[in-house]
A and B are shown apart, each in its own frame.
Chain A
Amino acid sequence: MTADLALIWPELILTIGGLITLMLGTFAGDRQVGLYQLAAMVTLAAAAAAVVTFFGTDTTVFSGTLSVDSFGGFAKLLIYAASFMCILVAPRFFKDSMRAEYPTLILFAALGMGIMASSRDLMTLYIGLELNSLAAYVLASFMRTDDRSSEAGLKYFVLGALASGMLLYGISLLYGFTGTTDFAGIAKVIGGEMNIGLLFGVVFVIAGLAFKVSAVPFHMWTPDVYEGAPTPVTTFFATAPKVAAMALLTRVVIDAMGPAVGAWQQIIIFLALASIILGAVGAIGQKNIKRLLAYSSINNVGFMLVGLAAGTQQGVEGVLTYLLVYMVTTLGAFLVVLQLRDDQGNQVESIPALAGLSQRRPGIAAALAVFLFSLAGIPPLFGFWPKYLVFEAAVNANLVPLAVAGIVASVIGAYYYIAIIKTMYFDDKSDTEFPKGTGTVVEDAVITASALWLSVIGYLFIGVLGVLSASAASVLF
């Protein structure tokens, strides 16, 4: 038991750090923004450092319910980094309504996501998922006085509860028909004869998790919640939980259902294609940039699922690389959105108001153009590379029709990305003024760095990324 505790330092640090942050907020007051913000960020940095030290270990703790391996480590690093950024940008957005609950909730959500990414048992899976979800529901409605925010929280909660129900139903079926909640044990039984009960279990578990990654047809909540939630929270939703849920889904289908590829592969293929197409078509005609990015995230999840559908190590490597690049791009894009303020200091979310942005704020517009082209996967921007990897995995797994359908549908997606670029670059200036100086030095630096990395510099990291994702993915095979 004590030996096990020594292996879960990241989780311990997050728990203790989260409690300390909560105490600081309670006793020092919500005004001491710098204090609790710093505490939360130090906690995340420490947890990330702990993850790095465990990178390369491959073992399980607590009777095999939680794994300590580089797959979980890879996902956790991404999750902590995204959480870190979301805490960093929050005070400027919330101004006076910033409260200590925000970093605390993010810390506990990060804890839950870490557990999701390392779970090896249906019970730990559910605990991690719910810990993350409950924190997320509150975060969505963090601006209590704002109708849209409250509505987003409520919607997220109701639909999330439904998804949890489906997931639990699936879990109970899997447990009932296999007699175990352990992934390895399930895999052993599932490798034998498939029966209708097991199949239903598989379907319901995947459906529940598909809700979390917002894959079509379980995506309905995404645009509304992304639009309604405060922008830093949307940034959080679009990055960290995506990574966690995708890692979890990967682990479940490969680890627990690996032997029954035939049973889940077609489901994943359907989810992938539906997400790519609906994510692309739904985005056309959106007037709100946050809604649009919501559809973009649905679209991108579809591409990740293409890699997962391959069911091979190469496919999982592709998914992991995709997650990393997607996270950097999305963080960058949302940081840009956070900087879009008119002369009254109000957030601008309407896309038509961005007309002529390239002349008012050339730097911001160029960065957003880089992020959007990258999300569309147009070379030479680095967003092309993960798309290439997942399609390569699909072709190598003899899923050529899937690859062809996916890549053709990606052209539909390109349409709405270049439509925003058209608004920013081709259209005449709108009436909205965009005064400069809306971002801190750190934010500007992060935007610049990620835009540069996503232009051509990222290609120099392909080798490193390949090694990292291969060592992470090899754990599952």
Chain B
Amino acid sequence: MSGLPILSLMLAVPAVGAIACAFAGDRNARLIALGATLVNLALGILMWAQFDVGGAQWQFQELHEGLFGRFNYALGIDGIALMLIVLSVFLMPLCILASWEAITKRVGLYMAMFLIMEVVMIGVFAAQDLLLFYVFFEAGLIPMYFIIGIWGGANRIYAAFKFFLYTLLGSVLMLIAMIAMIREAGTTDIPTLLVYNFPPEMQTWLWLAFFASLAVKMPMWPVHTWLPDAHVQAPTAGSMILAGVLLKMGSYGFIRFMMPMFPDASAQLMWLVFALSMVAVVYTSLVALVQSDMKKLIAYSSVAHMAIVTAGLYALNQQGIEGALIIMLSHGVVSAALFFCVGVIYDRLHTREIDRYGGLAVNMPAYALFFMLFTMASIGLPGTSGFVGEFLSLAGIYEASSTVAFVCTTGIILGAAYMLYLYRRVVFGELTKDDVKAMPDLNPREWAILAPLAAVALWMGVYPESFLAPMRGDVTTVVARLAPAKPAGDAHLAAGKPKAAKAGDHGAAQGEAHHAGGVQ
């Protein structure tokens, strides 16, 4: 709220850093990238500190009208965007650190691509103009294409092409929908569009077009197949940022655009989201169970978690949406950490095959501890971030549909199965293999990456209110917007009947009357 254009600054710092990195030597590029991301982290924390919880819906607004002629340079955030931006700037320095030693060729270009990625992520979450949003949303394809294609694994080119074309095909349909929306509403301003009532029959088409794009980005079953390929081939930091933030762009689009802008279509088509989410939870969890590649396993678990997010969002009630948002944040931290855990041992043995490991608890106790923590957080053990999100969203889903809640809960059980099975095979067991025996425990750099991630995962699990408070008001706004169209859930909530008052107890009878009044 100070005069400082903090969002523009957060876009400018990594952008300038990216240009500098492109021309710098290897060592300098690393330092520049780390410096730029740390500055952005500081700015992000400053922004969080200055964010007025319960204040105006949109804060830190910046508007330069007509800068781009037909559309505006309009930035601004609400609580949801704030938390996702904070997540992005929190993960970025860790990603840079994670690539410190693993990346040895063309470091300058690599760091430049990561910094561009950061610009794109912040831009997506901060854009308040529909076209500006689209430009940022699509712009993410280019740096990720390079990151996977140049520094990826053996099959990187296939994965890069698949990632690029798949997500491009999805998002072009969203562009057509946006054109139709701009034509109908006569503005590109997102806050205005959020309260514009599109004709219901038009909403259905717009919803489907947005869905085509965002479902690919999420990714939802059955358009998730690009994700395992991209994750497996991407370098460790690429997977971290892909799972940590890029997937959230899809669910952010759900809550930012599809739900408040098309409430009628959302209510009408919630069965579609539920159906796909249910299939995804069960199917991808089962697929994860049989993976022999660690990264692939975690990639499939991401799809399962994101399916709970979509189901939670489409419960269309306060708990469901809040829970989904917490899963988004939690998954951002935990999956990034899990991918990094894989990266740690990959750097030592250069294989992702689960069978090649075993018994790491003996020679890498610190690693085993961290890995255990994140495994538990992924499963959703109470005390970790995963629990809060999954509990809240499942409670919300239960209110909307008990069947969906039942099916989604099996995902939690299956999640425990595949994560624990992974953990057992990698960390426990006999330490028999010679090359595994020779692996050293975490070095200080790896500590520096895992410790903050662990701290945040626990913080989110123990005191989620810090994260929920800024978002609560915005969730209420969305729920209120959806309320007229929302179908009744199949959970018939009824208030309990208090015991009959004792004769002559005047006060209790009055209390009962009050209570009955409250239930109405």
Contact = CB atoms under 8 A, between A and B. Distances in A.
Interface of A: 359, 373, 378-380, 384, 388, 391-392, 395-396, 400, 403-404, 407-408, 410-411, 414-415, 418-419, 421-422, 425-426, 459-466
7 contacts: A404-B173, A418-B145, A422-B157, A426-B157, A459-B68, A462-B68, A466-B70
Given A388-B175, A396-B183, A407-B175, A422 B168 contact: no
Given A380-B139, A400-B176, A425 B146 contact: yes
B130 to A, nearest CB: 11
Contacts of B142: 373, 378
Interface string B140-161: 0110011001100000110011
Interface of B: 66-71, 106, 131, 134-136, 138-139, 141-142, 145-146, 149-150, 156-157, 160-161, 164-165, 168-169, 172-173, 175-176, 179-180, 182-183
B165 A395 contact: no
Given A400-B176, A426-B156, 18 more contacts: A379-B135, A379-B139, A384-B135, A388-B131, A391-B179, A395-B176, A396-B183, A407-B173, A408-B172, A414-B165, A414-B168, A415-B161, A415-B165, A425-B150, A460-B68, A461-B69, A463-B66, A466-B70
A239 to B, nearest CB: 24
A378 to B, nearest CB: 6
Contact of B150 (A414, A426, A459): A426
Nearest to B119: A380
Nearest to B175: A407
Given A378-B138, A411-B168, A414-B168, A391 B68 contact: no
A121 B348 CA distance: 76
Given A379-B139, A414-B164, A426-B149, A463 B69 contact: yes
B67 A460 contact: yes
Contacts of A407: 172-173, 175-176
Nearest to A466: B69
Contacts of A461: 69
A442 to B, nearest CB: 23
B135 A403 contact: no
For A379, A396, A411, which residue has the most chain B Cβ atoms within 10 angstroms? Answer: A379
Contacts of B176: 391, 395, 400, 403-404, 407
Contact of A408 (B106, B157, B169): B169
B443 to A, nearest CB: 30
Nearest to B134: A379
Contacts of B136: 379-380
Contacts of A460: 67-68
Contacts of B70: 462-463, 466
A400 to B, nearest CB: 7
A211 to B, nearest CB: 30
A108 B161 CA distance: 45
A426 B164 CA distance: 14
Contacts of A464: 69
Contacts of A426: 149-150, 156-157, 160
A166 B169 CA distance: 38
- Prevailing SS type, chain B contact patch: helix
Contacts of B183: 392, 395-396
A379 B138 contact: yes
Nearest to A459: B68
Nearest to B105: A359
Given A391-B179, A415-B165, A426-B160, A410 B172 contact: yes
A410 B138 CA distance: 14
Nearest to B67: A460
B223 to A, nearest CB: 14
A250 to B, nearest CB: 21
Given A379-B138, A426-B150, A418 B175 contact: no
Contacts of A359: 106
B143 to A, nearest CB: 11
Contact of B69 (A392, A395, A462): A462
Contacts of B161: 415, 418-419, 422
A392 B179 contact: yes
Given A400-B180, A460-B68, A462-B68, A378 B168 contact: yes
Nearest to B148: A426
Nearest to A427: B157
Nearest to A394: B179
B76 to A, nearest CB: 19
A415 B169 CA distance: 11
For A425, A426, A461, A464, which residue has the most chain B Cβ atoms within 10 angstroms? Answer: A426
Nearest to A373: B142
A418 B158 CA distance: 12
Contacts of A404: 173, 176
A426 B149 CA distance: 6
A387 to B, nearest CB: 9
B121 to A, nearest CB: 14
Nearest to A370: B142
A465 B69 CA distance: 9
A80 to B, nearest CB: 25
A22 B139 CA distance: 49
B231 to A, nearest CB: 18
A276 B160 CA distance: 24
For A396, A411, A465, which residue has the most chain B Cβ atoms within 10 angstroms? Answer: A411
Nearest to B139: A380
A395 B169 contact: no
Nearest to B164: A418
Contacts of A465: 69
A462 B157 CA distance: 35
Contact of B160 (A373, A384, A422, A462): A422
4 closest cross-chain pairs (CB), A and B? A462-B69, A463-B69, A379-B135, A407-B172
Nearest to B135: A379
Contacts of B141: 378
Nearest to A387: B175
Contacts of A379: 134-136, 138-139
A422 B141 CA distance: 14
A382 to B, nearest CB: 10
A408 B69 CA distance: 26
A257 B366 CA distance: 78
B179 A395 contact: yes
A335 B68 CA distance: 28
Contacts of A408: 169, 172-173
A463 B139 CA distance: 22
Contacts of B131: 388
A408 B212 CA distance: 12
Contacts of A400: 176, 180
A415 B67 CA distance: 32
A34 B161 CA distance: 47
Contacts of A392: 179, 182-183
A395 B180 CA distance: 7
Contacts of B145: 418, 421
A425 B183 CA distance: 40
Contacts of A388: 131, 175, 179
A422 B152 CA distance: 13
A464 B70 CA distance: 10
A49 to B, nearest CB: 26
Contacts of A422: 149, 157, 160-161
A414 B175 CA distance: 16
A388 B176 CA distance: 9
A464 B67 CA distance: 11
Contacts of B135: 379-380, 384, 459
Contacts of B146: 425
B180 A463 contact: no
A392 B131 CA distance: 12
A425 B173 contact: no
A384 B156 CA distance: 27
A378 B131 CA distance: 13
B172 to A, nearest CB: 4
For B67, B146, B150, B175, which residue has the most chain A Cβ atoms within 10 angstroms? Answer: B175
A28 B415 CA distance: 84
